[in-house]
Protein backbone atom coordinates (compact mmCIF):
# COMPACT_ATOMS: atom_id res chain seq x y z
CA UNK A 1 0.00 0.00 0.00
CA UNK A 2 1.25 3.54 -0.72
CA UNK A 3 2.35 5.64 2.24
CA UNK A 4 0.90 8.97 3.34
CA UNK A 5 4.16 10.67 2.29
CA UNK A 6 3.82 9.19 -1.19
CA UNK A 7 0.18 10.30 -1.38
CA UNK A 8 1.15 13.84 -0.43
CA UNK A 9 4.18 13.94 -2.73
CA UNK A 10 2.25 12.77 -5.77
CA UNK A 11 -1.49 13.29 -5.18
CA UNK A 12 -3.79 11.48 -7.59
CA UNK A 13 -5.60 13.52 -10.22
CA UNK A 14 -9.15 12.65 -9.26
CA UNK A 15 -11.17 15.79 -9.93
CA UNK A 16 -12.54 16.55 -13.39
CA UNK A 17 -12.01 20.25 -14.00
CA UNK A 18 -15.14 22.33 -14.44
CA UNK A 19 -14.31 25.92 -15.36
CA UNK A 20 -15.61 28.66 -13.08
CA UNK A 21 -15.80 31.97 -14.93
CA UNK A 22 -13.47 34.65 -13.64
CA UNK A 23 -11.10 32.34 -11.75
CA UNK A 24 -7.41 32.10 -12.61
CA UNK A 25 -7.85 28.33 -13.08
CA UNK A 26 -10.15 28.93 -16.03
CA UNK A 27 -7.24 29.21 -18.45
CA UNK A 28 -5.02 26.61 -16.81
CA UNK A 29 -7.01 23.47 -17.55
CA UNK A 30 -9.35 22.12 -20.20
CA UNK A 31 -12.91 21.24 -19.18
CA UNK A 32 -12.99 17.63 -17.96
CA UNK A 33 -9.18 17.45 -17.50
CA UNK A 34 -8.26 15.47 -14.38
CA UNK A 35 -6.52 17.60 -11.78
CA UNK A 36 -5.33 17.30 -8.17
CA UNK A 37 -5.47 21.00 -7.31
CA UNK A 38 -8.78 20.79 -5.46
CA UNK A 39 -7.56 18.26 -2.93
CA UNK A 40 -7.57 18.87 0.81
CA UNK A 41 -4.48 20.81 1.94
CA UNK A 42 -1.51 18.81 3.18
CA UNK A 43 -1.81 20.19 6.73
CA UNK A 44 -5.36 18.88 7.05
CA UNK A 45 -4.46 15.55 5.41
CA UNK A 46 -1.72 15.24 8.04
CA UNK A 47 -4.27 16.08 10.77
CA UNK A 48 -6.43 13.18 9.53
CA UNK A 49 -3.35 10.95 9.44
CA UNK A 50 -2.61 11.78 13.08
CA UNK A 51 -6.19 11.50 14.40
CA UNK A 52 -7.76 8.62 12.47
CA UNK A 53 -7.05 4.92 12.81
CA UNK A 54 -8.68 1.59 12.01
CA UNK A 55 -11.09 1.99 14.95
CA UNK A 56 -12.34 5.40 13.78
CA UNK A 57 -15.74 6.12 12.34
CA UNK A 58 -15.51 9.08 9.96
CA UNK A 59 -17.63 11.06 7.53
CA UNK A 60 -16.91 13.60 4.81
CA UNK A 61 -18.81 15.79 2.39
CA UNK A 62 -17.06 15.97 -0.96
CA UNK A 63 -14.53 13.37 -2.04
CA UNK A 64 -11.05 12.99 -3.45
CA UNK A 65 -7.56 12.57 -2.06
CA UNK A 66 -9.00 12.84 1.45
CA UNK A 67 -11.23 9.81 0.77
CA UNK A 68 -8.17 7.82 -0.29
CA UNK A 69 -6.48 8.76 2.99
CA UNK A 70 -9.50 7.72 5.10
CA UNK A 71 -9.40 4.37 3.28
CA UNK A 72 -5.62 4.06 3.86
CA UNK A 73 -6.18 4.61 7.60
CA UNK A 74 -8.71 1.75 7.63
CA UNK A 75 -11.47 3.97 9.05
CA UNK A 76 -15.13 3.03 8.70
CA UNK A 77 -15.79 5.92 6.39
CA UNK A 78 -18.92 7.47 4.90
CA UNK A 79 -18.36 9.76 1.93
CA UNK A 80 -21.21 11.89 0.60
CA UNK A 81 -20.73 13.27 -2.90
CA UNK A 82 -23.01 13.57 -5.92
CA UNK A 83 -20.27 12.85 -8.48
CA UNK A 84 -20.33 9.08 -9.26
CA UNK A 85 -17.43 9.10 -11.76
CA UNK A 86 -15.26 10.72 -9.08
CA UNK A 87 -16.04 7.90 -6.65
CA UNK A 88 -15.16 5.37 -9.39
CA UNK A 89 -11.79 7.06 -9.92
CA UNK A 90 -11.17 7.00 -6.15
CA UNK A 91 -11.95 3.27 -5.92
CA UNK A 92 -9.81 2.53 -9.01
CA UNK A 93 -6.87 4.49 -7.54
CA UNK A 94 -7.21 2.66 -4.21
CA UNK A 95 -7.29 -0.74 -5.88
CA UNK A 96 -4.24 0.08 -8.05
CA UNK A 97 -2.30 1.14 -4.95
CA UNK A 98 -3.26 -1.66 -2.58
CA UNK A 99 -5.62 0.45 -0.45
CA UNK A 100 -8.58 -1.57 0.89
CA UNK A 101 -11.98 -0.10 0.05
CA UNK A 102 -14.21 -2.51 2.00
CA UNK A 103 -14.81 0.02 4.81
CA UNK A 104 -15.71 2.87 2.45
CA UNK A 105 -19.39 3.72 1.95
CA UNK A 106 -20.30 6.20 -0.77
CA UNK A 107 -23.60 8.04 -0.70
CA UNK A 108 -23.92 9.40 -4.23
CA UNK A 109 -26.07 12.42 -3.48
CA UNK A 110 -25.65 16.09 -2.63
CA UNK A 111 -24.93 16.34 1.09
CA UNK A 112 -27.88 18.69 1.67
CA UNK A 113 -30.16 15.81 0.64
CA UNK A 114 -28.28 12.93 2.24
CA UNK A 115 -27.27 14.34 5.63
CA UNK A 116 -30.78 15.01 7.01
CA UNK A 117 -31.68 11.37 6.35
CA UNK A 118 -28.55 9.82 7.81
CA UNK A 119 -29.31 8.17 11.12
CA UNK A 120 -25.79 7.14 12.07
CA UNK A 121 -24.21 8.84 15.07
CA UNK A 122 -21.01 8.78 17.11
CA UNK A 123 -18.57 9.72 14.37
CA UNK A 124 -15.01 10.43 15.51
CA UNK A 125 -14.18 12.90 12.77
CA UNK A 126 -16.05 14.81 10.07
CA UNK A 127 -14.51 16.59 7.10
CA UNK A 128 -16.56 19.39 5.54
CA UNK A 129 -15.25 19.83 2.01
CA UNK A 130 -18.23 19.56 -0.35
CA UNK A 131 -19.85 22.50 -2.06
CA UNK A 132 -18.53 25.79 -0.66
CA UNK A 133 -21.27 28.24 -1.63
CA UNK A 134 -23.51 29.73 1.06
CA UNK A 135 -25.13 28.07 3.04
CA UNK A 136 -23.68 24.63 2.24
CA UNK A 137 -20.75 24.48 4.71
CA UNK A 138 -23.12 25.74 7.43
CA UNK A 139 -25.67 23.09 6.51
CA UNK A 140 -23.05 20.34 6.42
CA UNK A 141 -21.74 21.48 9.80
CA UNK A 142 -25.26 21.67 11.29
CA UNK A 143 -25.93 18.01 10.54
CA UNK A 144 -22.50 16.59 11.31
CA UNK A 145 -22.30 18.57 14.56
CA UNK A 146 -25.11 16.44 15.95
CA UNK A 147 -23.60 13.24 14.55
CA UNK A 148 -20.13 13.73 16.02
CA UNK A 149 -19.37 12.23 19.40
CA UNK A 150 -18.22 14.53 22.20
CA UNK A 151 -14.45 14.67 21.78
CA UNK A 152 -14.76 14.18 18.02
CA UNK A 153 -13.29 16.56 15.44
CA UNK A 154 -14.65 18.59 12.59
CA UNK A 155 -12.33 19.79 9.83
CA UNK A 156 -13.37 22.81 7.78
CA UNK A 157 -11.39 23.27 4.59
CA UNK A 158 -10.93 26.21 2.25
CA UNK A 159 -10.87 29.05 4.74
CA UNK A 160 -10.09 31.42 1.86
CA UNK A 161 -13.81 31.10 1.02
CA UNK A 162 -15.82 33.59 3.10
CA UNK A 163 -18.51 31.02 4.02
CA UNK A 164 -15.93 28.57 5.39
CA UNK A 165 -13.99 31.30 7.20
CA UNK A 166 -17.17 32.67 8.79
CA UNK A 167 -18.19 29.20 9.99
CA UNK A 168 -14.73 28.68 11.48
CA UNK A 169 -14.73 32.15 13.13
CA UNK A 170 -18.16 31.52 14.60
CA UNK A 171 -17.15 28.17 16.07
CA UNK A 172 -13.88 29.43 17.53
CA UNK A 173 -15.94 31.70 19.81
CA UNK A 174 -18.18 28.87 21.00
CA UNK A 175 -17.55 27.15 24.31
CA UNK A 176 -18.62 23.83 22.78
CA UNK A 177 -15.87 23.89 20.13
CA UNK A 178 -12.14 24.05 20.71
CA UNK A 179 -9.84 25.13 17.89
CA UNK A 180 -7.10 22.49 17.91
CA UNK A 181 -5.49 23.04 14.52
CA UNK A 182 -5.26 25.86 12.02
CA UNK A 183 -3.42 26.36 8.76
CA UNK A 184 -3.73 28.72 5.81
CA UNK A 185 -6.05 26.20 4.14
CA UNK A 186 -8.25 24.83 6.90
CA UNK A 187 -8.81 24.18 10.56
CA UNK A 188 -9.97 21.49 12.96
CA UNK A 189 -12.17 21.92 16.01
CA UNK A 190 -12.85 19.48 18.81
CA UNK A 191 -16.47 19.07 19.85
CA UNK A 192 -16.94 19.63 23.58
CA UNK A 193 -20.73 19.88 23.73
CA UNK A 194 -23.98 19.94 21.81
CA UNK A 195 -24.97 23.54 22.46
CA UNK A 196 -24.04 25.61 19.44
CA UNK A 197 -26.29 24.16 16.77
CA UNK A 198 -29.27 24.21 19.14
CA UNK A 199 -28.72 27.64 20.69
CA UNK A 200 -30.58 30.85 20.00
CA UNK A 201 -28.49 33.72 18.66
CA UNK A 202 -27.97 35.62 21.96
CA UNK A 203 -26.13 32.52 23.20
CA UNK A 204 -23.86 32.49 20.15
CA UNK A 205 -21.21 35.13 20.92
CA UNK A 206 -20.11 35.64 17.30
CA UNK A 207 -23.68 36.22 16.10
CA UNK A 208 -24.64 38.29 19.12
CA UNK A 209 -21.67 40.65 18.72
CA UNK A 210 -22.58 41.28 15.10
CA UNK A 211 -26.30 41.84 15.63
CA UNK A 212 -27.52 45.41 15.79
CA UNK A 213 -29.69 44.57 18.76
CA UNK A 214 -26.44 44.40 20.74
CA UNK A 215 -23.79 46.19 18.73
CA UNK A 216 -23.28 49.87 17.94
CA UNK A 217 -20.99 48.94 15.04
CA UNK A 218 -23.73 46.72 13.61
CA UNK A 219 -26.19 49.62 13.84
CA UNK A 220 -23.80 51.81 11.82
CA UNK A 221 -23.30 49.02 9.29
CA UNK A 222 -27.07 48.72 8.94
CA UNK A 223 -27.45 52.45 8.32
CA UNK A 224 -24.62 52.28 5.76
CA UNK A 225 -26.38 49.45 3.98
CA UNK A 226 -29.64 51.40 3.87
CA UNK A 227 -27.75 54.23 2.16
CA UNK A 228 -26.10 51.78 -0.23
CA UNK A 229 -29.55 50.43 -1.13
CA UNK A 230 -30.78 54.03 -1.43
CA UNK A 231 -33.56 53.36 1.03
CA UNK A 232 -33.58 56.97 2.22
CA UNK A 233 -37.03 56.87 3.89
CA UNK A 234 -36.05 53.89 6.07
CA UNK A 235 -32.65 55.49 6.75
CA UNK A 236 -34.36 58.70 7.92
CA UNK A 237 -36.96 56.93 10.09
CA UNK A 238 -34.26 54.69 11.61
CA UNK A 239 -32.12 57.73 12.48
CA UNK A 240 -35.16 59.42 14.02
CA UNK A 241 -35.89 56.28 16.04
CA UNK A 242 -32.24 56.14 17.15
CA UNK A 243 -32.43 59.73 18.42
CA UNK A 244 -35.72 59.05 20.21
CA UNK A 245 -34.44 55.91 21.88
CA UNK A 246 -31.11 57.62 22.72
CA UNK A 247 -33.10 60.30 24.53
CA UNK A 248 -34.77 57.46 26.42
CA UNK A 249 -31.30 56.19 27.30
CA UNK A 250 -31.71 53.08 25.18
CA UNK A 251 -29.99 53.84 21.93
CA UNK A 252 -31.15 51.54 19.18
CA UNK A 253 -34.16 50.12 20.93
CA UNK A 254 -37.59 50.61 19.49
CA UNK A 255 -39.57 52.99 21.75
CA UNK A 256 -42.47 50.96 23.05
CA UNK A 257 -44.66 53.81 24.40
CA UNK A 258 -45.61 54.54 27.98
CA UNK A 259 -46.76 51.82 30.28
Closest CB 205 distance from ligand SAM, rounded Å: 29
Handedness of CA 152, 158, 160, 166 (dihedral sign): negative
Closer residue to ligand SAM, CB minimum distance, 16 or 192: 16
Distance CA 19, CA 114 (A): 26
Closer residue to ligand SAM, CB minimum distance, 157 or 174: 157
Closest CB 103 distance from ligand SAM, rounded Å: 18
Residues that bind ligand SAM (CB under 6 A): 38-40, 61-66, 80-83, 86, 110-112, 129-131
Closest CB 44 distance from ligand SAM, rounded Å: 8
Cα–Cα–Cα angle for 81, 67, 76, rounded to 5 degrees = 95
Closest CB 152 distance from ligand SAM, rounded Å: 18
Q: Closest residue (Cβ) to ligand SAM?
A: 64
Q: 229 vs 222, 224, 235, 243, CA distance in Å?
A: 11, 9, 10, 22
CA 130 from chain center: how many Å? Answer: 8
40 Cβ contact list (under 8 Å, min separation 6): 48, 64, 65, 66, 127, 129, 155, 157, 185, 186
CB-CB contact of 130 with 64 (8 Å):
no
Closer residue to ligand SAM, CB minimum distance, 125 or 226: 125
Closer residue to ligand SAM, CB minimum distance, 67 or 196: 67
Closest CB 169 distance from ligand SAM, rounded Å: 20
Closer residue to ligand SAM, CB minimum distance, 78 or 204: 78
Amino acid sequence: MITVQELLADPPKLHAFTPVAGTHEEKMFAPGELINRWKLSDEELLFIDAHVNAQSKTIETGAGCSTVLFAMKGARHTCIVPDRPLTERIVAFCKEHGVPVDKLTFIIEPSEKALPRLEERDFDLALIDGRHGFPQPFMDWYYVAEMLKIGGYVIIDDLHVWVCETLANLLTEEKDWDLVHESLGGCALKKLGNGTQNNEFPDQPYVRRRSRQYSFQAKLRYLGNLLKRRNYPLFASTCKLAVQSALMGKFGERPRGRR
